[in-house]
Structure 1
Amino acid sequence: MKQILQYLFNHNTLTRAEAKAILIEIAQNKFNENEVTSFVTVFLMRTITLEELEGFREALLQLAKPVNLGDDLVDIVGTGGDGKNTFNISTLASFIVAGAGQKVAKHGNYGVSAISGSSNVLEELGYQFKDNEADLRNDLEKANLCFLHAPLFHPALKSVAPLRKGLGLRTFFNILGPLVNPAQPEFSMIGIYSLEIARLYQYLLQKKNMQFMLVHALDGYDEISLTGDTKIFDRNGENIFSAEELDFKNIEAETISGGKTQAESAEIFFQILKGNGSWEQNAVVLANAAKALEMTQKSGAYSACLDLAKESLYSGNALKCLELLRN
């Protein structure tokens, strides 16, 4: 590792093969904690390259516990690390999409740089994580949604979990998370905290046989925040959408705060799903869910997808998906 670190400290970058090999060795605990921390720190000081991102992704997918959950699946996920402390918007949007009839294979983890990640909030609400394919398929069948808790499927992440928690900073593992869903869903809506990383994702995902939508709010959120304009990338290019173009109006940042504790975050989540959310909370979740439904190209234009999302939330169908998962 010392040679690798010296190579990187001299402003060199890794090839795809080198990146893959090193991450596999990290997962096999071949290096000590100080060496791994130094390696991770390199990517806090500069942007990861496309080849490095591809190599790290290949390593995690190769090491992942395999799972086959069928076709026509959607994931709605964010890189995290935007420092905005919003409530769990992408996870709520996932339940609304499931309540609208689209099957969701949600990939998530505990929060590292945020108070409450998707795994935190679902665990707080009583959901039991599962790593058995039959159980996950059963969840999909009854609730239209299953949740893949990343540490159960990615042994490589277990080995660096204490390090990530100790650093408490956004690392390249945040960037990798949305790219390594072991179910390999056909559709991925990914929120990204920076335009630079969004373009890397775009280059990488254009090579893959999947539909994707990359979302970045221009004021720094890794989701459609409605606090300003949103840039969206897909296979056809990129566009900027105002809140008005998404059939809403601009909102203030404090209206979508995620609370100060995990329990508070879970309560906000549950109240929104029960239909007790504020106009601003509902608006943000509905805009993200509608865009995810639009991506599947099965539910018509955005306006029709927004109607489906509203029906899912306000009828209680989205809440029913959570209740079915918890039983």
Structure 2
Amino acid sequence: MSLILIPIATQMGDSLEFVCEVQDIMIAASDPLVEMLRPERLTAIVDIGANPLSSDGEPPYRQMLAKRLCTVVGFEPQPDAHAELNQKKGDLEAYLPYAVGDGSVGILKVCRARGMSSLLSPDPRSLSLFPGFLDYGQVIQEIPVETRTLDSIDEIREIDLLKIDVQGQELSVFLNGRSRLSNAVALQTEVSFVPLYLRQPVFGEIDLALRGFGFIPHMFVNLNKRMILPIHDSARPFASMNQLLEADIVYVRDFTQPERMSAEQLKQLALISHHCYASYDLAANCIHRLIERKVAPPGSVEQYLSIIAQAGAAPD
């Protein structure tokens, strides 16, 4: 068993350095899948719109971070949210106050519901169709910001998993981050079926763009529906019938074309599938491809199934 190098985040002026230090603990010993796959480095996660004040709950990489299996570089331009992230961060996390976009100067519209804050302007016509949304989307502050493109941010060294929630600006981030995304293996993004902002790209546009980058849809993390006015339930403001509004969806590198992935990409996709999304079948498929390349020994899939069973996480 070998030592794993742990990148420690340190801020140096305007740049972020990850300094590798050998730890006196065997990280691999605490995670049997890491020990089996032996990746070259910790999983690199980038979280754009890492707002802890939103209602999105725990991030999908929480378990990996708790086990010290990943690094996180997060971006949050709202000052109060950024301050809270920095107050609570660990040594494998770094949070920067950049607004990620197309590189232009924009205006951050801070809304009454902080999770709706965006560089785009809320669309009153759409918001008026759903209970409470006109109030949630009321702009209470405007902050001039200079956006940076994903490809231009030097603090990002690698991306294995990108999590993004920037309220309608996702497509702009993707189109200006082609180089950084070329090695990523998974991506979790918010998509809208009904645009809540002016000039907001909808699900179909984002889907076509990500397929063009070599990703395919894998799973919905959540599906957000809302009741259409005038019918509403004042006692249950989040009640719904059938109308789709938004969703968090996971895209993965197209596993039907495994020859386009390196061995390290297959390892990282297996780790993310297992730890972040409980997608054990996809993780097993990646391990199977590693066996075909003689990167993993025969019997590794069976070993992985044993790992799942021992963890009490067998597929339904």
Which category of TM-score, normalised to the shorter sequence, fits these structures?
0.3 to 0.5
Higher strand share: 2
Greater Cα radius of gyration, structure 1 or 2? 2
Higher helix share: 1
